[in-house]
Amino acid sequence: MTHSRTVIGLAFFLLFNLVRAQNKDRSSFFIGYETFEMTMNKFQNFAGEVGYRFNEKNQIRLMIGEVKLTERHLSSSWEAAAVDGDNVEGYFRIYELYYDRYFGKRKNFYYSGNVGYVKDEYNHLISDNRLENETATIGFSIGYRKENIFGIKHLYTNISLPFRYYLNDIPETQWGDTTISAHKFVNNFWFFVGYQF
């Protein structure tokens, strides 16, 4: 409960400061679909973002993900690297709030603070072993956003590399010859394609 209050307090603090910094010159809502994680997991369920850009330097985003994780994805050393071994499938739920601050001449690159909620599930396909973990998270990210892709007005792409700290971590878990990796400091690679209103 204490972790949840901390996360909620940080979220309100970010929102308050963002509204104070609002500049109407470039404000707009946007919505995007996450393509990288979804491609690697056969587009099972949904992952995307919705947000509001206050001005050329500040925006807020909510990333929502409900992804069924395939055995191949979890055991791949260059994709998830969450499982060492075979016969494990999973489910990943995430709600993560970002405050992005743009920098540089063109204002395409940004850094972020993030708070969120994550639920991880892993199921052993050849036994009754099952792991389920829920946690609040806190972290940061770096990213790059490009607007008017292919000359299409309002179309954008967003590459985001979030790093998050699990307040309730998953210890390394052994199921026979298969190992579920420890989840304490976890990262992702998101690639969103979306529309800015």
Q: What is the pLDDT of residues 131-187, one digit of tens each?
A: 999 999 999 999 999 999 999 999 999 999 999 999 999 999 999 999 999 999 999
pLDDT at position 14:
58
Tokens representing residue 193 in the block:
């394609």
Tokens representing residue 33 in the block:
């679909």
Residue 12 pLDDT more than 90?
no
SS3 track for the chain: CHHHHHHHHHHHHHHHHHHHCCCHHHCEEEEEEECHHHHHCCCCEEEEEEEEECCCCEEEEEEEEEEEECHHHHHCCCCCCCEECCCEEEEEEEEEEEEEEEECCCCCEEEEEEEEEEEEEEEECCCCCEEEEEEEEEEEEEEEEEECHHHCCCEEEEEEEEEEEEEEEECCEEECCEEECCEEEEECCEEEEEEEC
pLDDT at position 158:
98
CATH number of 2-196: 2.40.160
Residue 9 pLDDT more than 90?
no
pLDDT in tens, 17-61: 555 554 445 679 999 999 999 999 989 999 999 999 999 999 999
pLDDT at position 80:
84
Residue 75 pLDDT more than 70?
yes
pLDDT at position 4:
56
- Give the Cα separation of 131 and 122 in Å (integer): 5
Entry pTM? 0.83
Q: Which residue has the higher pLDDT, 178 or 9?
A: 178
Place of tokens 């954008």: 156
Q: Mean of the pLDDT values across residues 56-75? A: 95
The alpha carbon of residue 183 and the mean position of all alpha carbons in its chain are separated, in whole angstroms, by 15
